[in-house]
Amino acid sequence: MSSEENYKIRQEKSLNHLFDGSLLNVYEKNIVNLGVGAPGPDLLENCTSIFENATSHRMAKENENGNFFLFQYGPNDGTFGVRNEIAKYLSDQYKSPVFHEDIVITTGATHGLHLIISTFIDFEGYIFIDEAVYFIAINVFRQFPTLKIIPLRLTNEGIDLDHFEELLKSNKFHSKGKLFWGMYYAIPTYHNPTGITFSDKVCKSLVSLARKYDILIACDDVYNILNYKDPLNPAKRLYSFDTVEDPDYKGHVISNGSFSKIISPGIRMGWIEAPPRCKKPLVDSGLISSGGCTNNYTAGLLESLFTLGSAQTHIKTLYNAYCDRMKATCEVLKENMPEGCSFHEPEGGYFIWIKLPEDKDSNDLLKLAMDKYKIFFLPGNRFSIENKMQNCFRISIAFHPSDLLKQTALKLCQAIQEFLN
C-alpha cells in the first residue's frame, strides 16, 4: 500500500455518534429520519442528572467500603448487587421470575450475541435467521465466515415451523467441539424489523424443536419491556417456555437483553439470562474471564441507579413516550394508508413494517420520499440476507416526538399514494 493510500485510510472525520456522516444521520434537520432505532435527545436529556446522582452515590459507597472494588477487575458475571437489581426489576416487568444466578453482565445485546456464538456454536455449523431480520446481526454472523446462515419463512405468528423442522432434519450433525451444532437467532417479542410477537404456540413448538434437534435459541430480548398493549399482562419471553420442570429440560434458550433502548445506548450495558449449563461456559470463556465483568464500572453505576429508583423512573418515562409515539403513528397510518398497502400494528417495541403491493420496490419509494417529502426509512431488502422483501420497509417511532411523527406519517402516506399513482 502506498503512503498516499495509507494516509487516505487513516484520515478521520470527527464523528459525534453512530449515525453521524451517513444516510442514517437522524440529527440532520432537513430530513425526518425514520430509519434509526434509538432514543432521541429529549429522552436522553435526563441521563446527565440521574447518572450524576448515581455516580455520587456509588463513589460515596466506594469511599465508605475502602477497597475500591468498583475500580478493580469485577467478578466474571458481574457483582451480586447489580445482577440482583436487574433480576428484581425484570421479574417485576416480565411477571415471571428472573434469577440473579442466571445473569451475566454484557456491554449490550450485540456483545452478548457475539459472545454466545463464539462460546456455543460449532464454527462449521448453522445460524438460522428470520427472512427479515435485524440487519446488523447478520454482520455479527458474518464475522464467523465458516458458519452457514439460513433464512426461515416468517408469518405474523412467528416462523414457519414445518419449514424450520425440514431444515433442522436435513442439516443436523454432531459437533465435536462445541455444545451446539446450530442456533436459531430469534427476536420473538416486538420483532425487529416486522414488529410482530411470536404466539405462545410458536414459542412452545420452538422449544420442542430446539430440544429434539439439540440447537440453541438465542433471543434478542431488547424490546420486551416496551409492551404497550397490556402492561400487566406482558408477552411471555421465549426463555420462559423452556421450563425446568419438563422431563426433557436441558436449557436450550438464552435471553439476550439490553439497556440501550430503555436507558441509553451510549452506556453499553446489557445482560444475558442463561440456563445453568450455559452460564458456566460463558463466564469461563477467555473473553470474559481474562477481563472479569465486561463493564464493571458502568454496572456499578447501574446498580446505584436502580437502588435510588431513578432507573425505574427513567425507563417509565421512555416507555410512556414510545407508547404515545407508537399509538400516534399507527393512528395516522390506519386512517391514511393507501389501498393495496398494509401494516401490522405492533403491540410494543420500536418498529412498524409497511407492505407495498408485491410488485413495488420500496427503494424507489425511498427516492421519492427523500427528494420531495424529505423522509428517510429503511427499505425491506436491508433486512434480508437474500436481498428480498423489497416491497416492504421499516419505520421507527423511537427518535422523534409524537407531533413530528404524526405529520411525517401523513406525508409518508401521501408519498406512497403519489408513488402508486
Secondary structure string (H, E, C) spanning 328-339: HHHHHHHHHCCC
The nearest distance, CB 130 to ligand PLP, in angstroms, is 11
- Please choose, out of 102-110, 176-184, 295-303, 372-380, the segment that lies near ligand PLP by the rule CB under 6 A: 102-110
- Judged by CB under 6 A, does residue 222 bind ligand PLP? yes
CB-nearer residue toward ligand PLP: 76 or 110: 110
Edge-to-edge strands, sheet with 121-130: 103-106, 270-273, 253-258, 216-220, 180-186, 121-130, 148-152
Q: Considering the complex, what minimum distance in angstroms separates the CB of residue 270 from ligand PLP?
A: 5
Report in angstroms how near the CB of residue 222 gets to ligand PLP at its nearest. 5
Single out the segment in contact with ligand PLP by CB under 6 A; choices: 6-14, 257-265, 304-312, 327-335.
257-265
Q: Which three cell numbers stand for residue 407?
A: 405529520
Shortest spacing between CB 250 and ligand PLP, in angstroms? 25
Instruction: Please report how close the Cβ of residue 72 comes to ligand PLP at its closest, in angstroms.
Output: 25
DSSP codes, 259-322: STTTT-STT--EEEE--HHHHHHHHHSHHHHTTSSTTHHHHHHHHHHHHTTHHHHHHHHHHHHH
Nearer CB in complex with ligand PLP: 60/136: 136
CB of 169 to ligand PLP, least distance (A): 28
- Which one of the spans 55-63, 104-112, 205-213, 322-330 is the region binding ligand PLP (CB under 6 A)? 104-112
Complex with ligand PLP: residue 396 or 413, whichever CB lies closer: 396
Q: Which of 34, 116, 187, 397 binds ligand PLP (CB under 6 A)?
A: 187
Least distance (Å) from ligand PLP to the CB of residue 192? 4
347 binds ligand PLP (CB under 6 A): no
CA-CA distance, 360 to 373, in Å (whole number)?
A: 19
Q: Are 185 and 137 in contact (CB under 8 A)?
A: yes
Are 258 and 270 a contacting pair, CB within 8 Å?
Answer: yes
Per CB under 6 A, 399 contacts ligand PLP: no
Cα separation, 45 vs 55, whole angstroms: 17
Nearest residue to 85 (alpha-carbon basis) of 315, 288, 287, 332: 315
> In Å, what is the CA distance from 120 to each residue of 60, 72, 280?
40, 28, 11
Fill in the amino acid letter for 199.
S
Helix, coil or strand: residue 42: helix
- Give the N- to C-terminal CA distance of the chain in Å, as an integer: 52
The verdict on 40 binding ligand PLP (CB under 6 A) reads no
Q: How many residues interact with ligand PLP (rule CB under 6 A)? A: 13
Cis peptide before 357 (omega within 30 of 0): no
What span, in angstroms and rounded, lies between the C-alpha atoms of 43 and 262?
10
* Region of 92 on the Ramachandran plot (φ > 0 left; ψ -120 to 50 alpha; else beta): alpha
CB of 4 to ligand PLP, least distance (A): 36
DSSP helix, strand, coil percent of the chain (3-state; round to 5): 45, 15, 40
102 scored as a contact of ligand PLP (CB under 6 A):
no
Among 260, 298, 362, 408, the residue binding ligand PLP under the rule CB under 6 A is 260
Residue 192 found at the interface with ligand PLP (CB under 6 A):
yes
CA-to-CA dists, residue 172 to 26, 180, 204, angstroms: 43, 10, 21
Nearer to ligand PLP, 192 or 310 (CB): 192
Smallest gap from residue 60 Cβ to ligand PLP (A): 29
CB of 419 to ligand PLP, least distance (A): 27
Site mask for ligand PLP (CB under 6 A), range 124-163, x = bound: ----------x-----------------------------
Contact range with ligand PLP by CB under 6 A, out of 105-113, 310-318, 322-330, 401-409: 105-113
C-alpha cell at 247: 422431563
Task: Establish if 109 lies at the interface with ligand PLP (CB under 6 A).
Answer: yes
Q: What are phi and psi of 146, to 5 degrees?
A: -85, -10
Closer to ligand PLP by CB, 377 or 419: give it.
377
CB of 340 to ligand PLP, least distance (A): 29
Contact residues toward ligand PLP (CB under 6 A) are: 37, 108-110, 134, 187, 192, 220, 222, 258, 260, 265, 270
